[in-house]
């Protein structure tokens, strides 16, 4: 596609429920990233994919968070047993190369609210 | 101490003024420096990219990097109301970007 597409754009869920967030990167981009942006905070790195592999998962906050990427394209970020502190905007980005890094193209994000 | 420090502002300037934004960082491995612009409820958009130290100009925007001081700047000349947004600095030594908290800028008509 022309840009990075994320769905849903907004998600309200009850505490304890599982959620899945989807990212469609720019076609041909091998590197894909997930970041989290909390109110008044900078962007927090979650995970990096190169192809279908995730060589860096160091930013995932807990084992409730997982992510996968299939076909070198679509990625899904799953949060199990959601907590109120998970409320944030989850941003996906892609780039044509992981290294060196000339900057990513971001999607518009999924705004997650846990009530 | 955060790896990248950026004053969150907010910053309010009259139309036509020069906007000056800056970030400091602590990681000497950073070689790639970027500025992103983020409008409300949108994803960040890459504005400027600079490799290592030096200046880069693109229209009304000038990015400066001083690696010896671990300090980067973004200047916006002849600011317009459409420049009102949050500006995020970002930097990298490898595949991962580290971001500042962002500075919210309002340009008053």
pLDDT one-digit tens code per residue, A58-69? 999 999 999 999
| A35 — pLDDT class (breaks 50, 70, 90) | very high
φ and ψ of B82, to 5 deg: -70, -10
- From residue A87, alpha-carbon distances to A17, A102, A104, A110, B97 in Å are 13, 29, 23, 10, 22
Query: Does the pLDDT value for residue A24 go beyond 70?
Result: yes
pLDDT band (50, 70, 90) for residue A89: very high
Asked if residue B83 has pLDDT above 70, the reply is yes
Cross-chain Cβ contact B94/A41 below 8 Å: no
Interface test with B, best of A21, A25, A43, A100 (most B CBs within 10 A): A43
**What is the percent of chain B where pLDDT is above 90?**
83
Please give the Cα distance from B61 to B39 (Å, whole number).
17
pLDDT of residue A18: 98
Checking if the pLDDT of A97 tops 80, the result is: no
**Considering only residues 7 to 66 of chain B, which have any Cβ-Cβ distance to chain A shorter than 8 Å?**
8, 31-32, 34, 36, 41-46, 49
DSSP code of A18? -
Residue with tokens 């009304």: B60
A106/B45 CB distance under 8 A: yes
pLDDT at B44 over 70: yes
| pLDDT for res A2 | 78
The average pLDDT across A57-84 equals 96
Name every residue whose Cβ is closer than 8 Å to that of residue A29 and which is 6 or more positions away in sequence: A94, A95, A96, A105
| pLDDT confidence of residue B52 | 82
Q: Does residue B4 surpass a pLDDT of 90? A: yes
Judge whether residue B94 has pLDDT over 90.
no
Mean pLDDT of A6-20: 98
Q: Given this model, what pLDDT does residue A12 score?
A: 98
Distance in Å, alpha carbon of A103 to nearest chain B alpha carbon:
7
SS3 A82: coil
Which residue among A48, A105, A111 sits closest to B95, beta carbon to beta carbon? A48
Which residues does A85 contact at the CB level (< 8 Å), separation at least 6?
A: none
Please identify among residues 53-72 of chain A the ones whose CB lies closer than 8 Å to any CB of chain B.
56
A91 Cβ under 8 Å from any chain B Cβ: yes
Higher per-residue pLDDT: A83 or A42: A83
Reported confidence tier of residue B2, pLDDT bands at 50, 70, 90: confident
The CA distance from A35 to the nearest CA of chain B, in Å, is 10
Structural Rg of chain B based on CA atoms: 13
Over residues B17-35, the pLDDT tens digits come to: 999 999 999 999 999 999 9
CA distance A5 to chain B (A): 11
CB contact, 8 Å: A26 with chain B? Answer: no
pLDDT given for residue B9 in this prediction? 87
C-alpha–C-alpha distance, residues B100 and A42, integer Å: 6
What pLDDT, on a 0 to 100 scale, did the predictor assign at position B60? Answer: 97
pLDDT of residue A58: 95
pLDDT of B65 strictly over 60 = yes
């Amino acid at each position: 596609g022309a840009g990075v597409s994320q769905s849903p754009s907004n998600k309200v869920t009850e505490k304890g429920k599982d959620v899945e967030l989807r990212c469609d990167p720019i076609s041909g981009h091998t590197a894909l990233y997930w970041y989290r942006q909390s109110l008044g905070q900078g962007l927090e790195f979650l995970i990096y994919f190169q192809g279908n592999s995730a060589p860096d998962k160091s930013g995932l906050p807990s084992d409730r968070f997982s992510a996968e990427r299939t076909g070198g394209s679509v990625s899904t970020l799953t949060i199990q047993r959601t907590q109120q502190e998970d409320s944030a905007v989850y941003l996906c980005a892609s780039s044509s190369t992981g290294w060196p890094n000339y900057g990513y193209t971001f999607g518009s994000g999924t705004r997650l609210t846990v009530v | 101490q955060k790896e990248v420090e950026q004053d969150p502002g907010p910053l309010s300037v009259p139309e036509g003024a020069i906007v000056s934004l800056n970030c400091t960082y602590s990681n000497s491995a950073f070689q790639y420096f970027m500025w992103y612009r983020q409008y409300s409820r949108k994803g960040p958009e890459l504005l400027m990219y600079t490799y290592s130290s030096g200046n880069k100009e693109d229209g009304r925007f000038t990015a400066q990097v001083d690696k010896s001081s671990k300090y980067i700047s973004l200047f916006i000349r002849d600011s317009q109301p459409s420049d009102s947004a949050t500006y995020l600095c970002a930097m990298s030594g490898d595949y991962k970007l580290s971001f500042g908290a962002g500075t919210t800028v309002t340009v008053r008509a």
